[in-house]
Chains A and B, each alone.
Chain A
Amino acid sequence: MTDTVIPHGRAESDAPPPIEKIGALRWARQNLFNGWLNSLLTLVAAAGLFYALPPLIEWALLDAVWVAASDEACRQATGACWAVVPQKHRPMLFGVYPYDEHWRLIVALLIYVVAICVTLVPRFFRRGIVLPLWIFALTGIGLMLWGGVFGLTYVDTSQWGGLPLTMVLFTGTVVLGMPISVLLALGRRSSLPAVKTVCVTFIESIRGVPLVTILFVSAVVFPLFLPDGVDINKLFRAMVGMAIFFACYQAEVIRGGLQAIPRGQYEAAEALGLGYWHMTRKIILPQALRICLPGIMNHIIAAFKNTSLVLIIGLFDILTATSAVLQDPLWSRFFVEAYLFVALVYFVFCFALSKYSQGLERRLSEGRRL
């Protein structure tokens, strides 16, 4: 009988398949208690949550102190002392930047957030929009941070700190690093042996060492490379070091994308009479970058997390600033709350970026999937 059912059913079903309704009990049976092993795991996990969650909620929410004028209230409470964040948010977020000028940092951060949000909207993926937007935004941010004109007092980069410094490092790393990475990737795929050798050696050497040592080079050794009297500021040196590190990892991702372009694309471009750079810019790179977009986003997220490493060479990013705040003996015992706050800042940014990248990936692959 079964062989007649399938064609029969097919012919009649123009309507969508019936939606299967599952009750809570049936759902639990299917997803929590299918088999003795899963039942056991569910019970163990549930027991763990049952013991761990209530004290955690009590500590983090119910017994927590949210606002306090001094550390005294926190010392008496049994819960978390979130008050450390409102109390110390300015040195944590803005570092050693002059206190009265903090509004400038807020303006700079707002410009930055708006620029990023606009950039991330797929409708605005056009050179005519993104490029002027960022030139405008970066000029505005630079104006706010440095000052020195329009009656704003000049603030030296050595005084920059906190979240804006993290932002500057991250943006600088990506903006400087992306073009380098494309050139390195193309160089590694080059048919000219000398170009290829230089690129391979450079990429593999940088990828083989920790970022910390590159930051040491930028902070300690690089000044020795410059002729007497020439000085490049520490922030910029660190940024270049991070950009080179970023570029070498990104170059490998882009190389993967380049390798995935079929030979026919190159041949078609050559047959049209395009030269190397035309072919690369108009035909190869747009496809290659689209293919390796997930990898590119991964390394951009990693670059954001890596900005925290400037703590080791003494630049005041948000992590260094928070560690410095915790030197205050009155508040140092509330390090868990302070670090969790910083972790939250990083988490929100990285998580949002990775979710966005997943969405973009789906969007770009639409119409290409089978």
Chain B
Amino acid sequence: MAEISAPRAGDTSILNSLAFRGFVYQVLLAAGVAIAGWYLYANVHENLARQGIVTGFDFLWQSAGFEIGESLISFERSQFYSRILLAGLLNTLHVSAVGIVLATILGVTVGVARVSTNWLIAKLASIYVEVFRNVPILLQIIFWASVVRNLPSQRQPISFFDSIFLSNRGLHFPVPVDHPIYPWVIGAFLIAVAGAFYYKRRARLHREATGRQLPVLWPSLALIMGLPGIIWLFAGAPLEWQVPVLRGFNYRGGMSSSPEFVAVLIGLVVYTAAFIAEIVRSGIQSVGIGQVEAARSLGLRGGLVMRLVVLPQALRVIVPPTTSQYLSLIKNSSLAVAIGYPDLVSVGNTTINQTGQAVEGIAIMMLIYLIISLTISAFMNVYNRIVAIQER
């Protein structure tokens, strides 16, 4: 090689081609994944065969033979594992749904308080956030479980208004007694909401046609509150509360939440609210003061500035991370297994211990959580596409 020759077409090796290399890498990766998968499968198969465990999901249709403390559906120990897993899933969804509602309310309140011009309120809110964000949620749940377990007995409960009782038996609270008029009231409410939406649309069309804004908020509120209210009053305003009463060792009447439910709920709500508060704060602060000033100088009044200018922009920042907080709340509810609340993981764990079907049991749990997560993310993506800035 005395002299360097200029490269010519066809001189470069195929090994230097990016496309060829990419192809080889991908084939290697696919082969690696396949071999690893096959190897693991073979090992599992062999190990299970040696231990004499029958693989498959037949165990779901055997009778469970254990009880769970609480369930939204009726359950007896003679029923199938599939039904007890369903009961566990419903418990997970129950505590998550209540938790999401309460965490949102608390989180938004604290988040708004953090940007308050009131020094004391802002300070208290930031102490709340720093304290509860920096302590592991499992520790918080275990702590609240211990607190609830050490509450006074049901004979001397902590009572609010003589109708809500908190004791080491959990929380007991009144519910309205059912009345035949209630379905009609709910129906009227739904119709009124639909009517309000229709009216809002008409008002917008009217504004676009004439330039004059019809009042929307108050007529809508009047419709939504008024229509069901009239029907309710017409039926004689029936409202009777079924208050829990201590009979013997337990409460009768009203509704109750178990101590474990209360502990998991408090832990999830307090922890998640701290994160939501931070998201809300950054969302509000992300809207520039210039936006507010511009809206004011256009002549919009306070409420309208908030509704038409600040909130739409803040929500674009707030909603995506809040949804992922909701998802992590649902996933964190699996920590209930540590204190014996019969959620999906706790029930699944007992099932695994009883049947020995570890692979199938954990696969079922993971699959269910995965489906929940993917469903919520899918809705999230749709929402994001709707609120994303429409660039022209």
A contact set with B: CB distance below 8 Å = 31-32, 34, 38, 41-42, 45-46, 191-195, 198, 204-205, 207-213, 216-217, 220-221, 223-228, 301, 305-306, 308-309, 311-312, 319, 323, 326, 333, 335-336, 339, 342-343, 346-347, 350-351, 354
Contacts and interface: CB of A to CB of B under 8 A. Distances in A.
Interface of B: 22, 25-27, 29-30, 33, 40, 43-44, 46-48, 50, 116-121, 124, 130-131, 133-140, 142-143, 146-147, 150, 331-332, 334-335, 337-338, 345, 349, 352, 358-359, 362, 365-366, 369-370, 372-374
A-B CB proximity, top 8 nearest: A194-B26, A208-B373, A350-B134, A31-B119, A210-B331, A305-B136, A210-B334, A208-B370
Given A46-B120, A212-B335, A335-B150, A347 B359 contact: no
Contacts of B373: 207-209
Contacts of A336: 143, 146-147
Contacts, number: 151
Given A195-B25, A225-B43, A311-B138, A31 B118 contact: yes
18 contacts: A32-B119, A45-B121, A191-B22, A192-B22, A210-B331, A213-B366, A217-B366, A224-B358, A228-B47, A309-B136, A311-B138, A311-B142, A312-B338, A319-B142, A336-B143, A339-B146, A347-B134, A350-B135
A34 B116 CA distance: 11
- A contact patch SS: helix
B334 A228 contact: no
Contacts of A205: 366, 370
A169 to B, nearest CB: 12
A315 to B, nearest CB: 13
A346 B121 CA distance: 26
Contact of A212 (B43, B136, B146, B334): B334
Given A306-B136, A342-B139, 12 more contacts: A31-B117, A41-B121, A42-B118, A192-B22, A205-B370, A209-B369, A213-B334, A224-B48, A305-B135, A326-B146, A339-B139, A351-B130
Contacts of B134: 301, 305, 346-347, 350-351, 354
Which of B124, B134, B146, B150 counts the most A-chain CB atoms under 10 A from its CB?
Answer: B134
Nearest to B143: A339
A221 B26 contact: no
Contacts of B26: 192-195
Given A192-B26, A212-B345, A216-B362, A38 B334 contact: no
A224 B136 contact: no
A342 B359 CA distance: 34
Contacts of A323: 142
Nearest to A207: B373
A210 B365 CA distance: 9
A308 B338 CA distance: 11
Contacts of A350: 133-135
A201 to B, nearest CB: 10
A305 B373 CA distance: 22
Given A38-B117, A213-B366, A217-B362, A194 B30 contact: yes
* Chain A CB within 10 Å, residue with most, of B120, B147, B359: B120
A206 B216 CA distance: 47
Contacts of B338: 311-312
A343 B358 contact: no
B106 to A, nearest CB: 16
Contacts of A32: 118-120
Contact of A228 (B46, B130, B331, B332): B46
Contacts of A339: 139, 142-143, 146
B306 to A, nearest CB: 15
- Looking at B138, B332, B335, B358, the one whose CB has the most chain A CB atoms below 10 A away is B138
A225 B29 CA distance: 20
Contacts of A224: 43-44, 47-48, 358-359
Contacts of A194: 26-27, 29-30
A209 B366 contact: yes
A252 B34 CA distance: 25
Nearest to B48: A224
B136 A221 contact: no
A308 B136 contact: yes
B135 A216 contact: no
Given A208-B370, A213-B345, A195 B331 contact: no
A226 B44 CA distance: 8
A38 B135 contact: no
A179 B338 CA distance: 31
A221 B359 contact: yes
Contacts of A216: 345, 349, 362, 365
A312 to B, nearest CB: 6
B43 to A, nearest CB: 5
A240 to B, nearest CB: 14
Contact of B29 (A31, A46, A195): A195
A193 B19 CA distance: 12
B369 A346 contact: no
A134 to B, nearest CB: 25
A193 B27 CA distance: 11
B354 to A, nearest CB: 14
Given A34-B117, A41-B121, A351-B130, A192 B25 contact: yes
Contacts of B33: 198
A227 B43 contact: yes
A80 to B, nearest CB: 14
A346 B359 contact: no
Contacts of B44: 224-225
A216 to B, nearest CB: 5
Contact of B118 (A41, A192, A223, A227): A41
A32 B139 CA distance: 35
Contact of A319 (B138, B334, B358): B138
Contact of A45 (B50, B124, B349): B124
A128 to B, nearest CB: 33
Nearest to B370: A208
B40 to A, nearest CB: 5
Given A194-B30, A225-B43, A220 B117 contact: no
